[in-house]
Structure 1
């Protein structure tokens, strides 16, 4: 599939919103899913640590991804507003993220 790379990061879910967070992602807006794929996200996984409510995200990206541009798009901002009550967010309602550097690959 050409040159791919991965990006991993952590986010934080608020207590009591586990089911709603999953439900909203199970029902992700088709136009948002298409936008993410068009930006070069080939695979996107989010895992939940049920004990700490930490969300661990993993993305497989194509070499010419345009994910850096997503933050400026209205639908991305609309999704952030929709999700803001469920998780820790920045002033613009984007999720607070912490990069997770790769330390091992098999």
Structure 2
């Protein structure tokens, strides 16, 4: 199991919309995430900085990287582009974080 963490940014006036869309996450998106080895996936919001902190456990790095190319993931990125910072390909602007401590 590999632990991955990352930060993204939601627009200041879109906090509620971001949460609303994730509470209604499409079942086919959940299925595809699981198919690509994702487990124990959480996203947290710092309302002051508008930063999103993501945590996910994956089985395999290469398998996980293939998730970006799926039809459902591309559809999700398109759906989310109006409420958060995104790249030209509509993927979220995201920065991976280095793990410096872990305790089981």
TM score, norm. by length of structure 1 = 0.93
- The correspondence of residues 3-18 of structure 1 with structure 2, limited to 5 A, is 4-18=1-15
Tell me which residue corresponds to 1:24: 21
Please, which runs of 5 or more residues in structure 2 have no aligned partner?
none
Tell me which residue corresponds to 2:56: 59
Tell me which residue corresponds to 1:93: 90
Please, which runs of 5 or more residues in structure 1 have no aligned partner?
none
Tell me which residue corresponds to 2:70: 73
Q: Does structure 1 residue 39 correspond to structure 2 residue 36?
A: yes
Distance 2:97 2:61 in 1: 21
- Deviation per CA, 1:61-96: give whole Å up to 9, x if none: 124761101111111111000000110000010001
Distance 2:78 2:47 in 1: 24
Count of residue pairs the alignment pairs up: 103
Distance 1:74 1:102 in 2: 30
TM score, norm. by length of structure 2 = 0.94
Distance 2:83 2:40 in 1: 23
State the Cα RMSD in Å.
1.2
